[in-house]
Amino acid sequence: MISALLAAGGSLDYGAIFLDLALILIIAKAAAEVSERVGVPAVIGEIVAGIMIGPSLLGLVEPSDAIRVLAEVGVII
């Protein structure tokens, strides 16, 4: 994964990557819990949280090569 980022010319800022991942995981988990309490499936809450914190709405997490690579690994797993 790291070699793919470096080959693409990306620089690694581990602090920013960790902060983005922590923010994504915490907000997604909170949204899943809230949606389940309301009676909606957890995945719907996670999708709504992703739309809210992504560049489409609030822009709390900007797209980066590292997040993109981790997302692709998550899809493969």
- Give tens-digit pLDDT for 23-39: 999 999 999 999 999 99
pLDDT at 2: 46
pLDDT at 68: 85
Tally the domains of the chain: 1
Dihedral (CA of 42, 66, 18, 75) sign: positive
Find out whether 30 and 24 touch, Cβ atoms under 8 Å.
Answer: no
Provide the terminal-to-terminal Cα distance of the chain, rounded to the nearest Å: 14
Greatest mean pLDDT among 12-21, 28-37, 67-76 = 28-37
In this predicted model, what pLDDT tens digit does every residue of 43-67 receive, in sequence order? 999 999 999 998 888 888 888 888 8
Q: Which residue has the higher pLDDT, 42 or 63?
A: 42
* Domain containing residue 43: 2-76
How buried is residue 45: exposed, middle or buried, by Cβ count under 10 Å (0-12/13-18/19+)?
buried
